[in-house]
Amino acid sequence: MTMTLYYNPQSRASVARWMLEEVGADYALQHLDIAKGESRAPAFLAINPMGKIPTLVLDDGTVLTENGAIIAWLADAYPKAGLMPPAGSSARGTVLRWLFFCGSCFEPALTDRMMRAQAPLPKQTVGWGDYDEVIDAIEKALSPGPFVLGDSFSAADVYLGASLAWAGQFGAPRVRESRRIQDYVGRITARDAFVRAQTAQ
């Protein structure tokens, strides 16, 4: 199975690339220079009308977008990697919980906290609650650790780990200051597949 990841190393597509390395997939990278407008070029918009990466094109032409969906699909498609617990198990529920949480709570809450110009939106109305509660939930998910599922590394750690590593680099509140989060980021960024995903190509 060969697939193509539309990619830029300084983008959210680096999360999907790490997952491709974790599962040992055969893939090609197609670089897009966002600053040069390549993500908004008609040729790419014909593939993903959102003009966003990661965009993963499967060998049958199916287009996958959204890091959570890409990670979940790869975990299922490469079961030997052991990153997705069996359908119907409680552990799979936990993995899915954190895959959805990254995209629908952590990212919006972080954007709201770091880019907000006005008063916060009402936390009981917006789906991501508020930033401090998101960080509290993450701290709890990582206790006792070392991973979301305890001793087993899973697909959830790819998205959550990459999100926290990235948030720390951008100076997100309570990320660098948290010993628990920093220990977790240290563990996941030491993985061979993570390191391979950082190599230029």
Ligand X SMILES: N[C@@H](CCC(=O)N[C@@H](CS)C(=O)NCC(=O)O)C(=O)O
Footprint of ligand X (CB under 6 A): 11-12, 34, 39-40, 51-54, 66-67, 103
**Residue closer to ligand X, measured from CB, 67 or 154:** 67
Distance, CA of 143 to CA of 181 (rounded, Å): 10
Which residue of this chain has its Cβ atom nearest to ligand X in the complex? 39
Q: In angstroms, how far is the first alpha carbon of the chain from the final one?
A: 20
**Residue closer to ligand X, measured from CB, 64 or 83:** 64
**Residue closer to ligand X, measured from CB, 85 or 103:** 103
**Residue closer to ligand X, measured from CB, 163 or 178:** 163
**Residue closer to ligand X, measured from CB, 1 or 45:** 45
CB 192 → ligand X: shortest distance, Å? 24
CB 98 → ligand X: shortest distance, Å? 14
Which distant-in-sequence residues (6+ apart) come within 8 Å of 74 by Cβ?
19, 20, 22, 23, 25, 155
The sign of the torsion formed by the CA atoms of 39, 42, 48, 51 equals positive
Rg of the chain on CA atoms, in Å: 17
Phi, psi at residue 128, to the nearest 5°? -95, 5
Distance, CA of 74 to CA of 152 (rounded, Å): 17
CB 66 → ligand X: shortest distance, Å? 5
Dump the DSSP string for 53-114. S-EEE-TTS-EEESHHHHHHHHHHH-GGG--SPPTT-HHHHHHHHHHHHIIIIIHHHHHHHH
**Residue closer to ligand X, measured from CB, 113 or 180:** 113
CB 111 → ligand X: shortest distance, Å? 10
Distance, CA of 162 to CA of 139 (rounded, Å): 15
CB 82 → ligand X: shortest distance, Å? 24
